[in-house]
Amino acid sequence: MDMLAIQPTDIAIFLVSFAACVYCIVLSRRLKALQDTRDGLGATIVALSKSVSAVSSATSDTRAQAGELASRLSKLMQDADAMCDKLSELTESMEASHAQASRTAQAARSELTVSMADILHQSKERSVEMKNLLVQMKAHNGRVRSAVRETDFLFEDEDAQPLKRTL
């Protein structure tokens, strides 16, 4: 019987072993539950992996679009700078043309003023001459009328020319 006799240490070892087996079974079930891709930590890990992949893809797409937009923006900025330069040149050209036109208009105005003054002066002189001529014509007309009134005409026959007799 010595051989079959169970010692208290054997029972303690058996109980500790049994408790360890039960604990391993419980841990195994929990580990399986955590690894379950439907509900457990595995599902969470899979979802996080998919999210990380989606975010990474979106980030690379966004970087590509940002690069395209940056190159388009750079081109537009270069075009805008060129247009600003052209507008600046046109503005300077217009200002120079305006200054030239102002000088030309001022010169024309001065020349026109001088010409108009000269024409007005000549017009006054001609008006005075015309008045003098009109006075002379009236005086001459008056002398002619008085001479005609004072003149006797002799008619020798009807076909003859009238003769003027002077006194």
Q: For residues 133 and 85, give the distance between their C-alpha atoms in angstroms, rounded to a whole number.
A: 70
Q: How confident is the model at residue 158 (pLDDT cuts 50, 70, 90)?
A: low
Q: pTM for the whole thing?
A: 0.40
DSSP code per residue over 90-138: HHHHHHHHHHHHHHHHHHHHHHHHHHHHHHHHHHHHHHHHHHHHHHHHH
Helices (H), 151-159: none
pLDDT at residue 154, as a whole number: 46
Tens of pLDDT, residues 109-149: 999 999 999 999 999 999 999 999 999 999 999 888 887 77
Report helix, strand or coil for 163.
Answer: strand
**What are the structure tokens assigned to 139, written together?**
């005086």
Beta-carbon contacts of residue 34 (< 8 Å; ≥ 6 apart): 40, 41, 42
Q: How confident is the model at residue 3 (pLDDT cuts 50, 70, 90)?
A: low
Side chain identity at residue 127, one-letter code:
S
Tens of pLDDT, residues 26-68: 999 988 877 776 776 767 777 888 899 988 998 999 999 999 9
